[in-house]
Every structure is written in C-alpha cells, then in structure tokens.
Amino acid sequence: MAAAVAAAARRRGQMPVRPQYTNVSPARQQAHLKALVVSIALKRAFRKYDTNKSGKLEREQLIKLLTDLDISTPEGQEPTQEEVNHVLKEADVAGDGCIGLEELQTAVVSWETFVSKRQEMETLVEKYDKSGTGKLERNELQAMLTDLNAGKPVSDQEIDWVLQECDVMGDGAISKLELVKATAIWYSHVQEKSKVCAVL
C-alpha cells in the first residue's frame, strides 16, 4: 500500500525519484559497508552504556566506556579526570557534559587515537617537560618541534598556530592527549611546506 502511494506521488511529481546505482565501484561499496558497520557498532555501544536510557552517556557511563576501550593500561583502570575532560571537550558539541549518539564517534576516535599512541606521547612529555607540569609549556613545545624539524628553528607564528589548533583545554600548554594532534598537524605542515618548496 505504502509503495503504491509513493509511486503515485512520484508520478505526480511530488516526490524525488531516488536514483538506482547500478555501476558502483568495489571501493565505494566497501566504504559504504565500513561506514554502516561503524554506525551499527556505535549504536550498540551506546545502548550498552546508556544504562538509564537517558539518550546520553553521562560522565560515569562515559568513563566506563573509555575504560573498556583502553587496552594500553591494566584491565579496569579508569581514565584520569583530565583524560575524560579532554574527550568531553573534543566531542561534547551540545555542551551538556554528556555524549549523545551523534557525538559518540568523535569521542571514540579521539580516545582510541590517544590510547594507540599513549606510550609515545608520555615519552615525549617526559623528555621535554622541564618545568614538571605534566604538559608542554610554550617554550617546551618549541623545543620539541625544533627537534622534530631536524634542529631547524621554529617560528613564534608556527608555535601560535599549533597552540591555536591543538590546545583544546585553552590553558596555553599542550597535554599528552593534545600532543597526538599537535605532532600530526606539525608533520602535515612540514610536508605541505616541502611541497611548496618543491614547486618553487
């Protein structure tokens, strides 16, 4: 019945006709399938951890999810408050201190990216954190990026840019969690500069 009504509406020009994709590449099919699998997995995870059926993952529920996802620490070890705050800052678009279903993917990607590089980031902070704050202050960040830049000086403008892009907590320093993004954009920045130089 519904199909007949829809067909009639299309004949009257009231509904757009969805195109039939008969020549879709294997790569596109694979990408669509992967996105579908991720979507299903996120919905299942959301239902599992949303124990009070509020439609959001509250802080304690988020902590449980992050704990279960973390394979870089002993089983059952919860994330620090700083780590939880960072994930919320990255993913909580609504600003309600919770994670909605539409925010879950950002939260999971942010956390799993850090977890996969935790040891590397902790090593970098330990090496360059001369002030002992547990973070890289501006001059310490500059020292690290200079070393990553093969000893070539890094300008104040570049430091400003990295801080603007990566200082999620807005405290003027780079934490272990923020360092993942900082090193990634720094390497991409260097690659872009190299491409420009090659063209010139």
Tens digits of residue pLDDT in 15-63 = 454 455 556 677 766 666 666 667 888 999 999 999 999 999 999 999 9
The identity of residue 13, as a single letter, is: G
For 89-140, the pLDDT digits (tens) are: 999 999 999 999 999 999 999 999 999 999 999 999 999 999 999 999 999 9
β-bridge partners, 136:
174
Name every residue whose Cβ is closer than 8 Å to that of residue 200 and which is 6 or more positions away in sequence.
Answer: none
Q: Does the pLDDT value for residue 181 go beyond 80?
A: yes
Q: Crossing angle of helices 101-116/176-199, nearest 10°?
A: 80
CA dist 56 and 78 (Å) reads: 20
Q: Are 156 and 149 in contact (CB under 8 A)?
A: no
DSSP-based three-state secondary structure for 165: helix
If one compares 181 and 56, the residue with the highest pLDDT of the two is 56
Length of the chain equals 200
Tell me what the pLDDT averaged over the chain comes to: 84
Backbone angles phi, psi at 174, to 5 degrees: -115, 120
> Is this structure's pTM higher than 0.85?
no
Q: Does the pLDDT value for residue 81 go beyond 70?
A: yes
Residue 39 token pair? 């979507």
Of 121, 144, 135, nearest in space to 175 by CA: 135
pLDDT for 97 equals 97
pLDDT for 96 equals 96
Q: What is the sign, positive or negative, of the torsion defined by CA atoms of 165, 84, 40, 73?
A: positive
The CA–CA distances, whole Å, from 111 to 10, 65, 102, 107 equal: 46, 10, 16, 6
pLDDT for 72 equals 87
Q: Does the pLDDT value for residue 6 go beyond 60?
A: no
